[in-house]
Amino acid sequence: MAELKTRYDGLVIGGGIAGMQAALDLAEQGFEVLLIEKEPSIGGIMVGLNKVFPTLDCSSCICTPRMAEAWHHPRIKLETYAEVSKITPQESGFAVDVVRRPRYLVAENCTGCSRCEFACPVEVPHEFDWGLGARRAIYIPHANAIPQVAVLDVEHCTFCGKCATVCPTGCIDYLQEPREARLEVGAVIVASGLKITPMEAKSQYGGGSLVNVISPLQMERIQSSNGPYGQVLRPSDGKIPKSIGYVQCAGSRDASIGYPYCSRVCCMYAIKQALLLTHYIHGVEVTLYYMDIRAFGKGYEQFYRRAMDEGVRMTKGKVAKITEDDHHNPIVRVELIDEGGRVADVKHDLVVLSQGLIPGWSPNGALPAKTSGDGFFEIPELKVRPTKSTVDGIFIAGVAAGPKDIPDAIVEAGSAAMEAANYLMRTGGAAKAVKQSQTASLGGQSRAREMGGEEAAQEKKAIRILREKRGGMTEEFKAYYQRQVKVRRELVASLRVGPKNVSELAQAVSLPGHEVMWHLNAMKKYGEVAVVGQAGDYLTYGLKET
């Protein structure tokens, strides 16, 4: 990536929809903006969603043009896989310390061709699919990632050197180091977004221990056309689920677990997912267990009614606990409010916990703006200046300030950009900005490898140095990798005998169904197996012709 300048007008932390919008709005007003994203791609939560309520637009289709705009804007410098370690107020503006993590390749030379990914022998759960899908140790973050540049996960690398051997541009650089830079900015916009409440927050619901009790973000990926399964299946055995339950407020409005507030979007995303399930699976029954429904936004009440009209069941009830039977079918114990408090045990194929939203980043002293008791950034003048933090010159946008949906995050981003622009004009922070010729001093720079006849020898040497530096593979990873190779061999041998469904394969290779499911989906992604048929509610997989 190009060097950083020593000064920008505005710094935006977080490249989700709010951060991208704030950066674009500030840049459109003529300011030079540095947009920092900690992940290898921008897009935040939105780029991984399936469709959005209430319009049911494809989420990545409306998010990626915004990502491309931010990437190509002449006044936005995008820095991915980087984090702000410290922001210090100065007489004018702020001093900012930035750390860029190594991708172990020269990003400018990576064409995103994925050859390295296909050559790499290691598979690990993919963060983008919330663990349901797989990626390799070197990988392009996802199909819609911006930038389309690979990243090498050194924790899961066998140091085999295959990626460097196949890379057509020779851009793998095993010797890269983290790079640090200090620069100055006139104003800061924090748009660090959200995480969801932990699956285990309500342990009585079995999140994290029952295989067919999943998170709403996992359901977004399962429903996505480029998701891990390609269609709606449940994780334990690949069954097409015909009965699905949603448990509302499974991590919000509950002081006993530390999340007393309403997360505002869970009712709507659950209604959206439930409605879509009725479109995707013929004859499915979807039940939402709720105490209140909060359909607060424009067109949301109508969307809620549409979902009921199209068959989504709304059951007013308090869910006490979730257990499972011998076939991993979740059983929801619920007190049915409209039936005088009758307690029922309802069996489903799959249950989604409507988890709440929590802050995406706890700055822990990295920046001077204060957070409130709930962890979101404090907004002292909420009613009149809803994006101003506790520090002059630092503004907050999107879920960083509190739970909200996409339209509200976008509106808030525009407001934060306007506040930042006014602040820059008022304080003269912009006047000093941008000395094109100056670049920030970066410690531990990436060492460009000399290409040419000695390339292969250099690569071997580089990977040896990397291996020595990392102390080789950890014992834990070595065991994981050996198991992966063994399981893969057994699965291929079993499929060579003939096509099978997940349960048949699980029996043949003596593994739990959800593990087989994960391996099969990895093999499907990397072109080794294909779905060859369907019998009842189960798909059949076969080896792909080579």
Q: Which residues bind ligand FAD (CB under 6 A)?
A: 13-19, 36-39, 44-46, 49, 52-53, 83-84, 191-194, 196, 216-217, 220, 265, 269, 272, 360-361, 398-399, 404-407, 409
Both tokens assigned to 119: 């050559």
Q: Which pair of structure tokens corresponds to residue 337?
A: 């409010």
Rounded to whole angstroms, the Cα distance separating 360 from 403 reads 11
The region of 78-86, 159-167, 273-281, 384-392 touching ligand SF4 under the rule CB under 6 A is 159-167
Secondary structure in 3-state letters for 315-361: EEEEEEEEEECCCCCEEEEEEEHHHCCEEEEEECCEEEECCCEEECC
The whole-angstrom separation of Cα 439 and Cα 16 is 26
**What does 141 interact with, of ligand FAD, ligand SF4, none (CB < 5 to 8 A by kind)?**
none
CB 106 within 8 A of CB 99: no
For 79, the 3-state DSSP assignment is: strand
Least distance between ligand SF4 and beta carbon 111 (Å): 4
Closer CB to ligand SF4, 87 or 523, in the complex: 523
H helix or E strand, kind and range, residue 76: strand 76-79
Q: At what angle do helices 266-280 and 300-309 cross, to 10 degrees?
A: 40
The answer to whether 393 contacts ligand SF4 (rule: CB under 6 A) is: no
| Cβ nearer to ligand SF4, comparing 157 with 506 | 157
The CB-nearest residue to ligand FAD is 16
Told to check if 142 binds ligand SF4 by CB under 6 A, we report: no
Q: In whole angstroms, how close is the CB of 412 to ligand FAD at the nearest point?
A: 8
* Cα–Cα distance, 476 to 466 (Å, whole number): 18
The minimum distance between CB 181 and ligand FAD, in angstroms, equals 14
CA 321 to chain centre: 28
Closest distance to ligand FAD from the beta carbon of 57 (Å) = 9
> Using CB distances below 5 to 8 A depending on partner kind, what does residue 179 bind out of ligand SF4, ligand FAD, none?
none
425 binds ligand SF4 (CB under 6 A): no
Helices (H), 29-100: 59-72
Least Å distance, CB 35 to ligand SF4, is 22
Q: How far is the CB of 322 from ligand FAD (least distance, A)?
A: 19
| Residue 264 near which of ligand FAD, ligand SF4, none (CB within 5-8 Å, type-dependent) | none
Q: How far apart are CA 206 and CA 213, in angstroms?
A: 7
Q: Does 480 bind ligand SF4 (CB under 6 A)?
A: no
Radius of gyration of the chain (CA): 25
Instruction: Please state the closest distance from residue 27 (CB atom) to ligand SF4, in A.
Output: 28
Q: Which is nearer to ligand SF4, 172 or 416 (CB)?
A: 172
Minimal distance in Å, beta carbon 18 to ligand SF4? 29
| CB contact at 8 A, 218 and 40 | no
> Rule CB under 6 A: is residue 146 a binding residue for ligand SF4?
no
Binding mask 167-186 for ligand SF4 (x = CB under 6 A): x-x-xx--------------
- Contacted entry of ligand SF4, ligand FAD, none for residue 265, CB cut-off 5 to 8 Å set by kind: ligand FAD
CB crowding 319-346: b at 16 or more within 10 Å, else e: beebebeeebbbbbbbbbeeeeeeeeeb
Burial class (CB in 10 A: 0-12, 13-18, 19+), 454: exposed
Touching ligand SF4, residues 97-136 (CB under 6 A):
105, 110-116, 119-122
Q: Which residue blocks in 29-150 are alpha helix, DSSP H?
A: 59-72, 115-119
Q: Could you give the angle at which helices 502-509 and 513-525 cross, rounded to 10 degrees?
A: 110
CB nearer to ligand SF4: pick between 146 and 163 = 163
What is the CA angle 349-352-355, rounded to 5? 165
Peptide bond preceding 198 in cis form (omega within 30 of 0): no
The option from ligand FAD, ligand SF4, none interacting with 361 (CB < 5 to 8 A, set by class) reads ligand FAD
Pick the closer one to ligand SF4 by CB: 137 or 270.
137
Q: Which stretch binds ligand SF4 (CB under 6 A): 54-62, 158-166, 237-245, 427-435?
A: 158-166
Segment near ligand SF4 (CB under 6 A); pick from 82-90, 162-170, 195-203, 224-232: 162-170
Strands 179-190 and 7-13: parallel
Spatial CA neighbour of 249 closest among 403, 100, 99, 425:
403
What is the Cα–Cα distance from 511 to 524, expressed in whole angstroms? 18
Task: Give the torsion through C-alpha atoms of 287, 290, 296, 301, to 10 deg.
Answer: 40
Task: Name the residue among 188, 174, 284, 169 with its Cα closest to residue 234.
Answer: 284
Residue 35 binding: pick among ligand FAD, ligand SF4, none (C-beta 5-8 Å cut-off by kind): none
User: Could you say which of 160, 308, 434, 508 contacts ligand SF4 (CB under 6 A)?
Assistant: 160
Partner from ligand SF4, ligand FAD, none binding residue 87, C-beta < 5-8 Å depending on class: none
Pick what 399 binds: ligand SF4, ligand FAD, none; C-beta below 5 to 8 Å, kind-dependent: ligand FAD
The answer to whether 366 touches 358, Cβ cutoff 8 Å, is: no
Comparison of 51 and 156: residue with beta carbon closer to ligand SF4: 156
Residue selected from 137, 222, 233, 430 as contacting ligand SF4 according to rule CB under 6 A: 137
* Least spacing, CB of residue 520 vs ligand SF4, in Å: 21
Q: Is there binding between residue 40 and ligand SF4 (CB under 6 A)?
A: no
Q: Which residues bind ligand SF4 (CB under 6 A)?
A: 105, 110-116, 119-122, 137-138, 150, 152, 157-163, 166-167, 169, 171-172
